[in-house]
Amino acid sequence: AGMSVAIFGSVINLYSGFCQADPEKLKLIETLGGHKKEKLLKIVLPSSIPLILSVMKVNIGLCLVGVIIGEFIGARKGLGYLIIYGSQTFRLTWVLMSIVILCIIAMLLYFALYLIEKQVRKH
């Protein structure tokens, strides 16, 4: 469920970002005998790194929401199951702890992405 939520929006955003690559640079590579692989690796991907990172930031939240909703529907384990089960049995501590764990996971993923972004900006 998490993958399906994130993939469709990502593909559309990334495609529109890839189409905005500098047409003059693409024409230059084509003129010099480059192929699609060179265009992709030398122009499109390097110019789209900020877009890729921003799409990944959005997808962290979307994926977590998708996974939890998937667990709401049909799981016997996991944080989504604990949230539903805890709310049905009036165990507020289970519900709140599950939400806190989700927040910690999201913060760790955002921090990892921040470190990746910091490394990319150095180069």
Residue 114: C-alpha distances to residues 3, 13, 31, 86, 110 (Å)? 21, 20, 38, 33, 6
Nearest of 113, 103, 3 to residue 52 by alpha carbon = 113
List pLDDT tens digits, range 32-41. Answer: 998 999 999 9
Q: Please state the domain extents for the chain.
A: 2-122
List pLDDT tens digits, range 54-86. Answer: 999 988 888 888 888 888 888 888 888 899 999
First to last CA, the chain: 35
- Topology, domain 2-122: MetI-like fold (1.10.3720)
Rounded CA-CA distance 30/26 in Å is 6
Return the number of other C-beta atoms located less than 10 Å from residue 43's C-beta.
20
The model carries a pTM of: 0.77
